[in-house]
Amino acid sequence: MTIKNKNRRQFLQHAALGAATAAFPGLVLANKGQVKSRATPGFNPDVEIAMTAREGYVPVLKSGPNTRVQKYYGKLIKGPKDTLQHLKGNYLGPIINYEKGQKVRIYFNNGLKEPSIIHWHGLHVPQKSDGHPMYTIQSGEKFVYEFEVMNRAGTSFYHSHTHELTAEQVYQGLAGIITVTDDEEKKIELPTGEYDIPFVLQDRTFNNRNQLQYLKGMHGRMSGFLGDTILVNGKPNVEFEVKSRAYRFRGLNGSNSRIYKLGWDDGTPLTAIGTDAGLLEKPETRPYIMLAPGERIDLWLDFSGRAVGTKLVMYSLPYTGAMPPMYEKMQKGKGGSSKGMGGGMMGGMGGMGMMGGGGLAQGAKFPIASFKVTEKVSDSPRLPKRLVKFDRLTERDVDNAHDPLPIAISMKPMRPMLNGKSYSMDRVLDFERVPLGSTKKIKIFHDHGMKKGEHGDDDEKMDMGGKKSGGMNMGGGMGGGMMFSMAHPIHLHGQQYQIISRKPGGMRLDEYETVKDGFIDSGWKDTVLVMPGEEIEIIKPFQDFKGFFLYHCHNLEHEDLGMMRQFYVY
């Protein structure tokens, strides 16, 4: 990033903050657009952490020079000893282990040479502690987060959420995993300690000096970054040595845009016990599980009965249909997984400038990690039939069953959008204002049938009211945008939601067949993969906190291109 660019970004941020204060006087802002952020007297934290983001050099690859990364360095000031688990020689930030009910204060130090802010993806926290990009701090500044852990037991994700720099900063390493435990979880016998293992999936591309290569220019931003090297917990070619018993693996897709189709090489099905930030009511077993960026899946991997020496390989199995038709066509007959398939070449073809991003195609088959049974043990916890009590949300809980809030996905060249608009820090549409305490039905769908001028990009006067959305082309329309139609993981900040329906459409049946059994829609979610043409209905409560809560595509390149909006809870 050039200095000029950086100053412009700072200017834009401050300008946006000014406008936000004017529009929403409730925002507490200090002079000169700087956010007031101090520890609150009277808030007595159980856990206090100092978290610094700065550059570091870590041995990511097995040989050769260390890799320059951006990394979260954590220090526990107060709280249970195991609150932070440091991963040695790793770019991932420390694992943060919380207990429901804990009061937490985090001092964030920006030791980078550029702006930054942390978001706690999955945690239900006040606006001010959510890492909204309006709170982005400059190099050398500090930000204080304070919240109570209100979440039920589950797995969450923290990462940079810096305005227009999210994708690159996460790519450089600014990410980590969060666990929350509670009494209900402790009642069931799930594997703990050394049998409870993070499983963070990311893809990267390295140059011959072991340095991270990100997208150059605009190439590949529309499809999203796809690397040629798969990392698990920050390392390539990972082999887990396991005992012949059951484990809990906390899957987190921390990739910028890669979608994994998790499955065993020998066809053994996979059992899930939890999704985004919550345990399921009961385990679900599937031939494979789709995991999109931002999603988590808690897996129950049982090696009992396996002989010592057995080796199992977890793959990302092949699938099709997630990418624009043009991209898919080009992958065909090329094997789709050769390392030499550079973004430059693909970007050049067809002059679309959107196919790039590295070697390993979206949907290619590749190994993720192997598991080697190294020790026989005689007892193993049994998979519980029931996990936790689950409050199933239905249409009876919402006040807008017949008038769902729309999240319309559309793509124009270099302009992926939601509800026909790009992100703006200080704007919300009418229907994006949601009263505190309400529970809403939300419909997420593809809207590629936009006619010129129908709902213009930045014309804020042309508000698309909730009512009007009914007139939009619901999914799979063959308008001009259809050629850009691809899968988008849609993430909503704040409280978890539930998926009440998933209707396919717009994808060829044989393609849909390659993904359709891999969606676990029965649990609490904060991110949902929306395949081309699909229409998904969710129910989401907006409780406890007023303010701005983002919703966006978790393809991080899309997010930074403006595929993000926000609700204003009032």
Q: Catalog residues that contact ligand C2O under the rule CB under 6 A.
A: 119, 121, 157, 159, 161, 294, 491, 493, 550, 552, 554
Site for Cu ion in 107-146 (CB under 5 A): 121
Token pair for residue 447?
């809207």
Q: Output the smallest distance, CB 196 to ligand C2O, in A.
A: 22
Say if CB 265 and CB 317 are below 8 A apart.
Answer: no
| Cβ closest to ligand C2O, residue 253 vs residue 473 | 253
Q: Output the smallest distance, CB 425 to ligand C2O, in A.
A: 14
Position 553 contacts Cu ion (CB under 5 A): yes
Identify what 159 binds: Cu ion, ligand C2O, none; CB under 5 to 8 Å per kind. ligand C2O
Report the residue number whose CB is nearest to ligand C2O.
121
Identify what 488 binds: ligand C2O, Cu ion, none; CB under 5 to 8 Å per kind. Cu ion
Q: Output the smallest distance, CB 452 to Cu ion, in A.
A: 22
| Cβ closest to ligand C2O, residue 9 vs residue 491 | 491
Cβ of 141: how many Cβ atoms within 10 Å? Answer: 16
Q: Max Cα separation, the chain?
A: 68
In the three-class reduction of DSSP (H, G, I as helix; E, B as strand; rest coil), residue 175 is classed as strand
Closest C-alpha to 80, from 69, 64, 96, 91 = 96
Angle at 266 between CA 289 and CA 365, to 5 degrees: 55
Q: Output the smallest distance, CB 557 to ligand C2O, in A.
A: 13
DSSP structural state of residue 37: -
Exposure on the CB side of residue 438, measured as CA atoms within 13 A: 19
Report the C-alpha gap between 19 and 473 in whole angstroms: 33
Q: Output the smallest distance, CB 192 to ligand C2O, in A.
A: 26
Report the C-alpha gap between 553 and 488 in whole angstroms: 6
Report the C-alpha gap between 270 and 317 in whole angstroms: 13
> Under rule CB under 5 A, how many of the chain's residues touch Cu ion?
6
Site string for Cu ion, 464-503 (x = CB under 5 A): ------------------------x----x----------
Token pair for residue 343?
């973004």
| Cβ closest to ligand C2O, residue 487 vs residue 550 | 550
Identify what 221 binds: Cu ion, ligand C2O, none; CB under 5 to 8 Å per kind. none
Position 446 contacts Cu ion (CB under 5 A): no
Q: Output the smallest distance, CB 176 to ligand C2O, in A.
A: 12
Q: Which of 558, 564, 568, 569 binds Cu ion (CB under 5 A)?
A: 558
Angle at 398 between CA 273 and CA 493, to 5 degrees: 55
Identify what 294 binds: Cu ion, ligand C2O, none; CB under 5 to 8 Å per kind. ligand C2O
Identify what 550 binds: ligand C2O, Cu ion, none; CB under 5 to 8 Å per kind. ligand C2O
| Cβ closest to Cu ion, residue 112 vs residue 222 | 222
Backbone angles phi, psi at 559, to 5 degrees: -55, -50
Cβ of 379: how many Cβ atoms within 10 Å? Answer: 7
| Cβ closest to ligand C2O, residue 159 vs residue 243 | 159
Report the C-alpha gap between 444 and 446 in whole angstroms: 7
Say if CB 74 and CB 51 are below 8 A apart.
Answer: yes
- Span near Cu ion by CB under 5 A; candidates 110-118, 334-342, 394-402, 553-561: 553-561
In the three-class reduction of DSSP (H, G, I as helix; E, B as strand; rest coil), residue 420 is classed as coil
Say if CB 150 and CB 167 are below 8 A apart.
Answer: no
Q: Output the smallest distance, CB 490 to ligand C2O, in A.
A: 11
Identify what 423 binds: ligand C2O, Cu ion, none; CB under 5 to 8 Å per kind. none
Identify what 555 binds: Cu ion, ligand C2O, none; CB under 5 to 8 Å per kind. Cu ion
Identify what 261 binds: ligand C2O, Cu ion, none; CB under 5 to 8 Å per kind. none
Say if CB 465 and CB 430 are below 8 A apart.
Answer: yes
Report the residue number whose CB is nearest to Cu ion.
553
Report the C-alpha gap between 241 and 306 in whole angstroms: 13
Q: Output the smallest distance, CB 442 to ligand C2O, in A.
A: 16
In the three-class reduction of DSSP (H, G, I as helix; E, B as strand; rest coil), residue 548 is classed as strand
Q: Which of 70, 160, 555, 566 binds Cu ion (CB under 5 A)?
A: 555
Identify what 252 binds: ligand C2O, Cu ion, none; CB under 5 to 8 Å per kind. none
Position 448 contacts Cu ion (CB under 5 A): no
In the three-class reduction of DSSP (H, G, I as helix; E, B as strand; rest coil), residue 510 is classed as helix
Identify what 427 binds: ligand C2O, Cu ion, none; CB under 5 to 8 Å per kind. none
| Cβ closest to Cu ion, residue 252 vs residue 387 | 252
Q: What is the Cα 281 distance to its own chain's centre?
A: 23
Identify what 552 binds: ligand C2O, Cu ion, none; CB under 5 to 8 Å per kind. ligand C2O
Radius of gyration of the chain (CA): 22
Angle at 319 between CA 539 and CA 360, to 5 degrees: 110
Q: Output the smallest distance, CB 224 to Cu ion, in A.
A: 7
Token pair for residue 310?
């057995």
Using a 10 angstrom Cβ sphere, with 0-12 exposed, 13-18 middle and 19 or more buried, the burial of residue 232 is buried
Residues that bind Cu ion (CB under 5 A): 121, 488, 493, 553, 555, 558
